[in-house]
């Protein structure tokens, strides 16, 4: 096994037996059925949209000591890698469905940089007495009003100059319009409040999705 390229803190492209893959360096065991070779946990792009963004050639800079608010953490697939990356940071992880969150709690028990919150991201007032000002908001909630939810959370918690990544699934916002129309609408909404640093698709890993990277 050999490291080909460093992408972010603890994040590498590694080569093993003639195939190369994205991985995070981790002292923890596999969490969602990914393989682990040596210290490197494979980061699967079909399972994690952030891995898809990176494999498609764009790497948002995420600092290892960043304070992050994660909206829609589900069972923690992506969060497990973010926890490797932010090894001296903190992740406030919000999810409102108890079913995936139960599995996520196994991760939260094990990782010291995770604060689990079983809360509704559309009611940030319920956790405003808990979450400190953050450097980064990662949102993956597939909701019709997810842009509004992102903006309110950014208003409450994101420091000036802080950044965010929003994953948008066209069908969740509007199931009848063309994905490209939906994406244009989303971008124009975000532009009202944020600088758009980059956006792009997640094909072939996730169909009819885009990511948008913004700054406040």
Partner 1 sequence: MSEINNCYNTWFGEVCLEDGLKVFRSKNLKESFQSCKNWKLPFSVKDAGMIAFGSESEYYRNLRRTALQVAEERVRKELQSDERYLISLLKALDEIDLGINLFSEKIRDIEETRESSLTEKFNQIVSDLKTFRKDLENEINSHAERIIPNVSSIAGGVIAARLLEKAGSLKKLASMPASTIQIIGAEKSLFKAISRMKKGKKAKTPKHGIIFQHPYIRGLPKKKRGKMARFMAAKLAIAARIDFYGGELNEELVEIVRKKYGELQER
Ligand X SMILES: C[S@@+](CC[C@H](N)C(=O)[O-])C[C@H]1O[C@@H](n2cnc3c(N)ncnc32)[C@H](O)[C@@H]1O
Q: Where does this chain bind partner 1 (CB under 8 A)? A: 75, 90, 97-106, 108-109, 112, 114-118, 125-126, 128-133, 155-156
Query: Looking only at residues 134 through 153 of this chain, which bind ligand X when binding is defined by CB under 6 A?
Result: 140-143
Asked if 96 is part of the footprint of ligand X (rule: CB under 6 A), the reply reads yes
In angstroms, what is the minimal distance from the CB of 77 to partner 1? 9
Q: Hey, which residues between 24 and 53 contact ligand X (CB under 6 A)?
A: 48-49
- Report the Cα 119 to chain-centroid distance in Å: 17
Sign of the CA dihedral running 33, 38, 40, 46: negative
Total binding residues toward ligand X, as defined by CB under 6 A: 19
The label of the residue with tokens 């969490």 reads: 31
Binding partner of 72, given ligand X, partner 1, none, CB within 5-8 angstroms per partner class:
ligand X
Residue 121 partner contact from partner 1, ligand X, none using kind-dependent CB cut-offs of 5 to 8 Å:
ligand X
Q: Which does 140 bind (CB under 5 to 8 A by kind): ligand X, partner 1, none?
A: ligand X
Q: At how many degrees (to 10) do helices 179-191 and 146-157 cross?
A: 20
Q: Which does 152 bind (CB under 5 to 8 A by kind): partner 1, ligand X, none?
A: none
List residues near ligand X by CB under 6 A: 48-49, 72-74, 77-78, 94-97, 100, 120-122, 140-143
């Amino acid at each position: 096994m050999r490291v080909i390229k460093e992408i972010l803190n603890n994040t590498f492209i590694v080569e093993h037996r003639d195939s190369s893959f994205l991985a995070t360096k981790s002292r923890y065991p596999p969490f969602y059925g990914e393989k682990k070779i040596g210290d490197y946990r494979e980061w699967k792009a079909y399972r994690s949209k952030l891995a898809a963004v990176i494999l498609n050639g764009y790497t948002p800079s995420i600092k290892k000591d960043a304070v992050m608010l994660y909206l829609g953490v589900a069972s923690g697939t992506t969060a497990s890698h973010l926890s490797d990356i932010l090894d001296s940071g903190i992740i406030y992880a919000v999810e409102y469905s108890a079913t995936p969150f139960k599995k996520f709690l196994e991760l939260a028990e094990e990782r010291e940089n995770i604060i689990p919150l079983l809360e509704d991201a559309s009611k940030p007032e319920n956790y405003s007495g808990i979450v400190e000002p953050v450097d980064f908001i990662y949102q993956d909630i597939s909701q019709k009003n997810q842009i509004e939810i992102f903006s309110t959370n950014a208003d409450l918690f994101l420091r000036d100059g802080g950044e965010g990544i929003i994953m948008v699934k066209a069908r969740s916002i509007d199931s009848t319009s063309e994905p490209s129309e939906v994406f244009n609408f989303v971008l124009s909404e975000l532009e009202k409040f944020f600088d758009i640093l980059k956006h792009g698709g997640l094909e072939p890993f996730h169909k009819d999705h885009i990511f948008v990277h913004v700054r406040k």
